[in-house]
Every structure is written in structure tokens, then in C-alpha cells.
Structure 1
Amino acid sequence: MEHLSPQDIEQRYQFACEVAMAAADCAFGFYQQRNQLEVEHKGQDLQDVVSIADRTVEALARSMITGRFPDDDFLGEETGGGDENARCTWVVDPIDGTSCFLNGLHNWCVSIGILVAGEPTIGVVYDPNHRELFRACKGKGAWVNDAPMRVHSGTTVADGVMGVGTSHRVTPEIFVPFISALLHEGGMFIRSGSGALMTAWVAAGRLIGYYEPHMNAWDSLPGLVLVREAGGISNDFLANHGLLRGNPLLLANETLYRQLSGMIAHPLA
């Protein structure tokens, strides 16, 4: 397999930012007319929704990416795909936080992660409501617009607010004990409705960490790069075919990671 050069990676990094912003512009047009959108449910989960906005935005992102890098692999939330052995894989969530999007809540974003030879290398999250571009490339630091980011410096969960997420893919018995342990240790939490955006807030030091007992790759991969480049750590999300199956996700600085991981009853990958 031919390896990507640093220049190849830089080109994809810059283009990922362009794609995220173009996709967000498209999504924002739908957002301003959201009451006219027809909403569908995925499977039996009434909380897992999709609209023509998600599909149109993903089609735009896919078209831009395959037009510029036709040999790269593509994995999208709405259209699937994904090859664990690909040289370079773009992983895209066109609208992370669709329920927020459809209900007029500003907690949604465009999420793009890029794997190079199976390694999370580029992460981009764009929040069009606040015009914030969270971006990182392995070895080049993490940035929000033009400002560098660092994870929270807290040493206990009482030092800040924890981000959490969950879904009906897991039972309450897996998630609730973590919340109970966090509260007993003096911590507090928020759930915004967009996991990708909350992982970006961890990289920016706004949240002390993020935990979700099962997360899909298109929501988690950007945060892996953002948080690592901002000085934090994570579990091995890609273990056991995490790219295609998803996994638990825990992100924090090294000290808080040890405390938080001890509160999780369900094994991390």
C-alpha cells in the first residue's frame, strides 16, 4: 500500500476544513426551513431521526471528497461504506445532532474524521451556529478558528463539567451507574445532543471530559484527534472493529481519565 506523504496529509487537512464549512452552509439552509422537513425514524428507535437535510448534506460532502481524492475511502452515517484496510478513509456525519437540528436547538455540527493507514489523523468539527471551526491534524496541535486549544487542567471531577451521551443502543443499567458515581464524587454533567460537538468542547477545555457507552465512528473520530492534539487521552476506540461497529468513548486529560475510567462499570475498549 502506498503511504501518504506529509504534503498529502496537509492537503486533506485543509480540504476537510473546506468540506465541513461547505456542508454546514448547505445544512444551515435546511435549518432555517426545518419546519418544512419530513422526518423519518431509523429502525425501531424513535429518538434516532433523519431527514432529507442529512442525506443532501452527506451527498455534497461525498461528491466534494471523491471529486478531489477519488482513491480515498468514504464512510458516511447515512450511506455507509468503510474499509478498515484502506489507505485513507474519510468518516463523515453530515449533521451530528439531528434531533437538535430539527427542534431548533443550536447544538449540531458537521463532523469529519480522516483515518490514514488505520490511524486517526485529521479531525474537523464545524459549528455553524457559532461559526467555530475545531480542527486538528496529528502532530500539528488543535485549534478553534485561529486559537490553540488545550484540554481542561482539572485534577478531580469536581473541577468542571463533564460531557456525556447515551442512546438506546445500550441499556440504562450500563449508563446510569456512571452518572451516579460522578455525582457522588462532586461532579456535574451536561448532554447537549451532539457528541461530536461535545468532544470538541473537551479539546477546547470547556468540558473536563466526555463519556458515551456506545458511539459510532462518524461521531467520535474527530474528537479523538482533537483531544489528543490538545493534550488529552482516550481509550482505544478502534479496537474490535470500532470503525464499523462503534465502541465506548472516554476522553479527558490523563489525571481525570484515571478517575473517570474507574467510574465506568462497562469495560472500555
Structure 2
Amino acid sequence: MTAEDEEIIARWKLAERIAVEAGSHALGYYNRRETLVIESKGDPQDVVSIADREVEELIRSRTGEAFGADGFLGEEYGLTGGNSGFTWVVDPIDGTSPFVHGMPNWCVSIAVLYKGEPVIGVIHVPCHDELYSSALGQGATLNGKPLKLGQQKTIRNAVTGIGANHHVTPQSVAKIVEDLLASGGNFVRLGSGALMLAYVAAGRLVGYYEPYMHAWDCLGGYCLVREAGGWFLPFPSDGERLTKGAPVLATGPGATNDLQRIAGIEQTGVAAA
């Protein structure tokens, strides 16, 4: 094992521990959500509460104590630079809208980038007691059980996840849905992109597409999908581009060509080794 591998694995084990701790903290707020003061970030569907902020602060604190030279990007407090080559990318509660409305479709998403590549992806789903975990070259697991995707599931015999938000037009989302249905597929939208990407890695969804998404929503799921044997469209990670939105697409092997066509994306990307 190289020194680089050891550095990744040390952060991976920490990410697993932090995700469970953060999920437990968030679940406490979820169980008393009627006491939360809900704020809007500018769009009525884009909300935040003290739970999001406290969970991110917890994760920042834990990672900073262990790896003070690492960078950190969180949805609530932005980007803090580092000089180790590693950057933590975190959504403390992905699916805040389901969270505040009493639906279980939310999660804690933790990714780590190394030299711009997602090398760790850990997603904890407290309401279902599920821990999705992956690291570069180490495979992906769900509660310790290995995840491995095959060719047998396609858009025609399985379900695709679709995401939408105020950054994209209703017409563009309608076109995606129309093309998917016309191709013999079907879709769901759960309100948490990170969770739906974890479901792609687990084979519950055959793919996930969202025309505009942020790094903290997708990079943990991207690592999971790659390590499970799937494909993803690379996310721009150079400098400030990491803080901007971009199209997100991840698929199981049997759906890659169809979903690239529906998304209008050239057939290039990152596949599992």
C-alpha cells in the first residue's frame, strides 16, 4: 500500500465515523422538526435551518481536528482552502425540504477530493439506518455489504432518478421526462440528489440525472457509483469552479448510452476500472 493509499484510507475511516455521528445529530433535529425555524435561501423551495448549520459545523470541526491542512467545502459555509491536496466536500443535510416536511428522504453526504478526483464517498441515511461507503480502489458497500452493478438493468426495466430546481427551466425538465418516457423508461424524484446517487450505486435506480447540481450534492454519490461499477459525468473541480453548479449524470452499465442520449451529453466520462 502506498503512502497515498494510506492517506485516503485514514480519511475514509474518519468519514464513516463522522457521517454516523452527524446523522445521529441531524436525526435528533428531525424528530423535533416542529421546533425548527425554517429560512429560505432566496427560493421558497431552497430552505435551511439550524440543523443544517450545526451538522456542518460538527463535520468541519471533526475533520479539522484530524486533518487541519485539508480544504473544506460545505453547502452552508462555503470553501476553506487547504494545502494537503485533499478537500472535504460536504452536504450536512441533503434533502432539507423532505427533512423539514417529515419525509425520510434525506441524508448526510461526505466526499473527499484528492487532486480534483473524488476518492471517498460516504452517505448516511439516518431514517433508514443505512451507511453507503466507498473509497478509490476499495469498492462500495451498503452497511458493509459489497455493491456491484451489472448490465441487466436498463431504463426500460428499471427506474431512473430525475432532479430539478429553480436553476433550470420547467421546459427543460419536461423535455427530459418526455424523452425518458418515450424511450420506455420511468422516473422518480425523491428530493435528495445525493440519496438518489447512492441508490444508483445500490442498483435501486438505474441512473440519476440533474441538469444543474452542486459539488456537495453529487461527489459522494459519484465515488459510490464508480466503485460499484457505474459511470459518471465528471464534475468541474478546478479552483472556484468547484463552488459552481454543473450537470450531473450517473448510471449503471446498462443505462449509460440511453441516459447520455437523453441528457444530450457526449459519450465520455469516467467508468469503473
TM range (shorter): over 0.9
Q: Does the CA-based 8 Å contact 2:149-2:253 persist in structure 1?
A: no
Flag structure 1 segments of 5+ consecutive residues without an equivalent.
Answer: none
Report the Cα offset of residue 82 of structure 1.
4.9
Q: Secondary structure at the match of 2:255?
A: helix
Report the Cα offset of residue 238 of structure 1.
2.0
Q: TM-score, normalised by structure 2?
A: 0.92
252-261 vs 62-71, greater mean Cα deviation: 252-261
Change (3 A) 1:152 1:174: farther
The partner residue of 1:229 within 224, 227, 230 is: 227
Structure 2 match to 1:98:
96
Distance in 1 between the 2:25 and 2:187 partners?
Answer: 32
One-letter amino acid of the structure 2 residue matched with residue 93 of structure 1:
D
Distance in 2 between the 1:173 and 1:239 partners?
Answer: 28
Change (3 A) 1:189 1:91: same
Q: Does the CA-based 8 Å contact 1:217-1:242 persist in structure 2?
A: no
Distance in 1 between the 2:83 and 2:183 partners?
Answer: 42
Change (3 A) 1:128 1:228: same
The alignment-based identity, stated in percent, is: 46
Structure 1 match to 2:263:
264
Structure 2 match to 1:41:
40
Structure 2 match to 1:199:
197
Q: Does the CA-based 8 Å contact 1:85-1:117 persist in structure 2?
A: no
One-letter amino acid of the structure 1 residue matched with residue 256 of structure 2:
Y
Structure 2 match to 1:247:
246
Distance in 1 between the 2:213 and 2:150 partners?
Answer: 22
Distance in 2 between the 1:73 and 1:245 partners?
Answer: 16
CA deviations 1:243-269 (Å, max 9, x no partner) are: 211211111124411111111247899
Q: Does the CA-based 8 Å contact 1:97-1:109 persist in structure 2?
A: yes
Change (3 A) 1:8 1:84: closer
Distance in 2 between the 1:264 and 1:103 partners?
Answer: 30
70-79 vs 150-159, greater mean Cα deviation: 150-159
Distance in 1 between the 2:180 and 2:65 partners?
Answer: 46
One-letter amino acid of the structure 1 residue matched with residue 62 of structure 2:
M
CA deviations 1:150-188 (Å, max 9, x no partner) are: 235335311101011110011122222111011111111
Structure 1 match to 2:10:
11
Superposition RMSD on alpha carbons, in Å? 2.0
Distance in 2 between the 1:6 and 1:266 partners?
Answer: 32
Q: Does the CA-based 8 Å contact 1:152-1:206 persist in structure 2?
A: no
Structure 2 match to 1:111:
109
Structure 2 match to 1:141:
139
Flag structure 2 segments of 5+ consecutive residues without an equivalent.
Answer: none
Q: Secondary structure at the match of 2:88?
A: strand
Report the Cα offset of residue 239 of structure 1.
6.1
